[in-house]
Amino acid sequence: MARKARIWKGARTPQALKRVRQALRRRAVNRRTRSAAKTLVQHASNIALGRDEGDAAEAVSSAITALDKAAEKGIIHRNNAARRKSRLMAKVNAAHLFEAAEAGPKRKTTASKTAQRKRVAAAKASKAAAGKAADRPRTAAGKAKVAVTRASREASAAKRRAKTEESEEG
């Protein structure tokens, strides 16, 4: 006589049944904490985007605290909390909420615009340098080849300089 296939795939042992009950209780608590954190972040985000009225600093502070507590308890991953905080702070900084709270209306001067342009140029230069550094060879043969190329380039530049100096004198 053939055996019937098992239909029930869930927990069978007393310990496994207990774990199921514990998981259900924990799920209810974790959902409350996760939902509260989401609500606080949403509220702070709405204030930053100008959809709601309220104290921006207090709303952001409570949202960050809620995310930190949820991450500490293991309800959400710490990287998840960090990502949410980062997104919230990006919105807040874009809305200039903290700057407005700290000081009155701020005007951009020519000096600050120039400084901003310099910062952007420096950032682009460092990014370009990092890109070039990634192309550099890591093997001894590659390094030797680069050294020979650099030496020949410097030698040819020195010859050109000498020629231009001779032509200027003569």
Query: Which carries the bigger pLDDT value, residue 21 or residue 105?
Result: 21
Q: Residues 88-138: pLDDT tens digits?
A: 999 888 887 666 555 555 566 777 778 888 888 888 787 777 666 656 666
* Options 3.30.70.20, 3.40.50.2020, 3.40.50.720, 1.20.58.110; CATH of 14-102: 1.20.58.110
Position 10 scores a pLDDT of 86
Q: Where are the domains of the chain?
A: 14-102, 137-170
HSE-CB at 37 with a 13 A cutoff on CA atoms is 24
User: CA-CA distances (angstroms) from residue 135 to 131, 140, 159?
Assistant: 7, 14, 28
